[in-house]
Amino acid sequence: MADTMKQQEAALTAESEPEEQVEPAEESDPSPARPSPSPNIFDTGLSTIAAYQRAAFRTGFTRDLAFRRQSLKALRKAIVTAEKDILAAMHADLGRPKTEAYTSEIALLLHEIDVTLKKLRGWSKPRRVRSPLVSLRSASRIEAEPYGSALIIAPWNYPFQLALGPLIPAIAAGNCAVVKPSESAPESAAVIARIIRETFKPHHVAVFEGEADVSRTLLDQRFDLIFYTGGTAVGRTVMAAAARHLTPVILELGGKNPCFVTADADLDIAARRIAWGKFVNAGQTCIAPDFVLADASIKDALQEKLIETIAKFYGDVPKASPDFGRIVNERHFDRLTALMEGAEIVAGGESDRAERYIAPTLVTGIDWSHPLMAGEIFGPVLPIMAYEDLDTELIILKNRPKPLALYVFSGDRATQERILAHLPSGGAAINDTLSQVVNTRLPFGGIGESGMGAYHGKAGFDAFSHQRAIVRRALKPEGGMIYPPYKTPLWVLRRMVRFF
């Protein structure tokens, strides 16, 4: 039986995989042992890549722990080698300053790989769990098994981190993967594609660039897991496509992230941390504070502090600052400038379509009916609204979609916990912004319309692994009461259930 299965597997691999199986390199080798990449990985075929990788996966080559480690080391080396190209691509696509791009993309990726390499052996070990007494002489364990071939569809706002970030746990868990970078960041997509093609063979990790039709073609195929980062509307489309094959999905979406500032908050610290969290990457961050709800007694003071902070960060003319980015394209530029119509602008507001520039902007004088409050802003425009009664605002927000992030600036622990208790969110930070995404010991993910599933660190390894339950039971003793014909009275069974 085992020999027959091996013969069938070999035949299937011969048909579907044009190259030899990758063998794991020695531990000292920083990259997986492999032939040079195929000159044209599209020989595998866009419309057949899922079946191609599943056939390769069934040979078991990704299960070897040494191979996974060497694959991660090879990815790390490729990222370090391509650092200048990565920074140049992000500047071309998003106008991102080098320091900001390095810390939020390259440094996070390298840290994620380093943590994964350090912990992978422990994460991969089977976990023994206790067996109930009713299972006489049995041993129970949980094994993390790879799903197979995973599809990763990445967005444009953090093009490297959000394309290669999910790839790290996908590889670590022993999967094959297909990466689709965003066409809206074309320079970054080209570098991502080059990194993957030069580092991996396509039966292990493949990459496909292109417009939305490429994503649709990929979604039409049967992958074993789909990981999508992007907007909620497209997230629904991805989930509907996955439902056709009952494919599990991880959706990292967005949300309208509230930022509370109470009367007892430290306004200097709040202004600095809110301004940084909002205007990094020109506001194009899924966990950025989307709007501020400030206690009416300190709203004007906070507003002035924010104006001062923006000037300290970016100077009197942010357009000339080397530390402020640009909007990704004209379509998003037009959307953002239209949203600002009718709002009272208290800082910024300047724009230049030719340069895709929108100044760090503060707006006020709006309520929940204004277009700025209808959906995620995803740009450098920050509404500031005053509240008189905290309970009223909590009721309003409780009836809105659950956000990806929640921020609270308050000096009172009871108020902090009260807001956290009333408002579910994917993640949260107290007296800070964005910091919940940096700690790899914390899972990152949404809830409700802001997403499902989580990753980073151990959570990422678990997300790309099926937790398989296994019981091994001894042949003897063999109890008879569980088999028909049933003769044990119910009163005896009740007592046994209570006992066991």
Active-site positions read 252, 286
Q: Cα dist. 340→79, 357, 368 in Å?
A: 39, 14, 14
Rounded CA-CA distance 347/321 in Å is: 16
Phi and psi angles of residue 376, each rounded to the nearest 5 degrees, phi first: -65, 130
Rounded CA-CA distance 87/71 in Å is: 23
Q: Are 337 and 363 in contact (CB under 8 A)?
A: no
Closest C-alpha among 328, 54, 356 to residue 175: 54
Rounded CA-CA distance 192/163 in Å is: 8
Rounded CA-CA distance 495/491 in Å is: 6
Rounded CA-CA distance 178/218 in Å is: 9
Both tokens of 113, joined, read 């790989």
Residue/partner pairs of 361-370 with CB below 8 Å, 24 or more apart: 362/303, 362/306, 362/307, 362/310, 364/303, 366/342, 368/396, 370/342, 370/343
Cα dihedral sign for 480, 483, 487, 489?
positive
Phi and psi angles of residue 72, each rounded to the nearest 5 degrees, phi first: -65, -40
